[in-house]
Amino acid sequence: MAPRVVVVGLASDFGCQVQMTNIEDHLLDVLGVIDLVYWQLASSGHMPEEYDVAIVEGAVTTEEHLRVLEHVRQTAAAVIAIGSCAVTGGIPALASRGDLEARYGCVYGEDGAAVACGRISPMPVHAVIDVDYRVPGCPIDTDEFVRVLSRALLGLADRISDEPLCAACKMKENVCFYDRSEVCLGPVTRSGCGARCVCLGRPCTGCRGLSPEANIESLVELLEERGVSRAELERRISLYNAFEEEGSPR
């Protein structure tokens, strides 16, 4: 029997699920080996009680999300978190800083606290349940997603890269943004995207999360020599990594 797969969406713009529809070169091959029993973006049905693999997009922002993830972990043999929101908390995690209740009024008006009943401080999926596989990025890279899904279906271990992006960027023979006096988060960001943004002329913004091998203090020294403060670096890092700075990753 083909592995039963569900795709669950939490708090996000659904961009990574949309990106999944862009795997034209592999779509038929992927659909030919799985039983896609539920896809929140493309289905109006209910999530089944039994399945083998759960693909989760989005940050955890409500008590309902907690219950959904608890059921997912109890049911699925493999859980795959896709996209920055699910892997690091992404942009939603910016709201985890400071007084969350004070933010309700900005979004929902005077009765914000009542309207936002059940909302919790945003966090990545791994802060709630154990995650077996990760596909970081905003949005995800379709080729990487297919590779990770294949590993999950075969029962192979996750092989997410730990090294910083700069190594891959140099292999692409890109001119370093620091030689142009521009700030790039490549020295502290997890590699695996092929330095796509840098190859397109844009500095890295850190959407794949912080590399465990990153030397942030060295980057602080480098930036301070160029007149960029530690506070500014932290501000830029927090765009996709606010929870990783404030919380304790699982």
> What are 73-121's pLDDT values in tens digits?
999 999 999 999 999 999 999 987 767 777 777 777 777 666 666 888 9
* Segments making up each domain of the chain, as ranges: 4-154, 166-246
Average pLDDT over residues 203-231: 94
Residues, the chain: 250
Q: What is the DSSP string of 71-140?
A: HHHHH-SEEEEEHHHHHT-TGGGGGGSS-HHHHHHHHH-TTHHHHTTTEEEEE-GGGTS--SEEE-SSS-
Would you say 121 and 174 are in contact if contact means Cβ atoms under 8 Å apart?
Answer: no
Pairing of strands 78-82, 133-135: parallel
Q: Give yes or no for a cis peptide into 139 (omega within 30° of 0).
A: yes
Distance CA(159)–CA(96), nearest Å, equals: 29
Instruction: Please give the mean pLDDT across all residues of the chain.
Output: 89
Average pLDDT over residues 26-47: 80
- Give me the percent of the chain exceeding a pLDDT of 70: 92
CATH superfamily of 4-154: NADH:ubiquinone oxidoreductase-like, 20kDa subunit (3.40.50.700)
Question: For residue 164, is pLDDT > 60?
Answer: yes
User: Model-level pTM?
Assistant: 0.90
Best mean pLDDT range from 74-88, 94-108, 137-151, 169-183: 74-88
